[in-house]
Amino acid sequence: MSTRAGFVALIGEPNAGKSTLLNRMVGAKVSIVTHKVQTTRARIRGVAMEGDTQIVFVDTPGLFKPRRRLDRAMVAAAWGGAADADVVVLMVEAHRGITEGVESILEGLADIGQGRTVALAINKIDRVASETLLGLTKALNDRYAFAETFMISAEKGHGVDALRQWLAQQLPEGPWLYPEDQIADLPMRMIAAEMTREKLTLRLHQELPYQMTVETENWEDRKDGSAKIDQVIYVVRDGHKGIVLGHKGETVKSVGKAAREELEEFLGRKVHLFLQVKVRPNWLEESERYSEMGLDFKDGA
Ligand X SMILES: Nc1nc2c(ncn2[C@@H]2O[C@H](COP(=O)(O)OP(=O)(O)OP(=O)(O)O)[C@@H](O)[C@H]2O)c(=O)[nH]1
Of the candidate spans 39-47, 115-123, 236-244, 286-294, the one that interacts with Mg ion by CB under 5 A turns out to be 39-47
Residues 6+ apart with CB under 8 A from 61: 14, 38, 40, 41, 42, 43, 74, 75, 77, 78
Residues 40 to 79 in contact with ligand X, rule: CB under 6 A:
40, 61-62
40 binds Mg ion (CB under 5 A): yes
Query: Which one of Mg ion, ligand X, none interacts with residue 53, CB within 5 to 8 A by kind?
Result: none
The Cα-based distances of 221 to 31, 233, 275, 276 in angstroms read: 23, 21, 17, 20
Contact between 213 and ligand X (CB under 6 A)?
Answer: no
Q: Which residues between 194 and 213 bind Mg ion (CB under 5 A)?
A: none
Comparing CB distances to ligand X, the nearer of 36 and 270 is 36
The contact mask relative to ligand X for 272-301 (x = CB under 6 A, - = no) is: ------------------------------
Q: Closer CB to Mg ion, residue 39 or residue 196?
A: 39
**Distance of alpha carbon 69 from alpha carbon 282, whole angstroms:** 12
Interface pick for ligand X out of 2, 35, 131, 145 (rule CB under 6 A): 35
Q: How far is the CB of 3 from ligand X (least distance, A)?
A: 29
Pairing of strands 87-93, 53-59: unpaired
Report how far residue 137's alpha carbon sits from residue 141's, in angstroms, rounded to the nearest whole number: 6
- When the beta carbons of 264 and 299 are compared against Mg ion, the nearer one is 299
Residue 26 binds ligand X (CB under 6 A): no
Q: Which range binds ligand X by CB under 6 A, 11-19, 44-52, 96-104, 289-297?
A: 11-19
Total residues contacting ligand X by CB under 6 A comes to 25
Q: Which residues contact 57 (CB under 8 A, 6 or more apart)?
A: 7, 8, 9, 10, 21, 22, 25, 26, 45, 46, 47, 48
Q: Pick from Mg ion, ligand X, none: which does 68 bind, CB < 5 to 8 A by kind? A: none
Stretch that binds ligand X, among 148-156, 172-180, 223-231, 286-294 (CB under 6 A): 148-156
Q: Which is nearer to ligand X, 5 or 21 (CB)?
A: 21
By CB under 5 A, name the binding residues for Mg ion.
18-19, 39-40
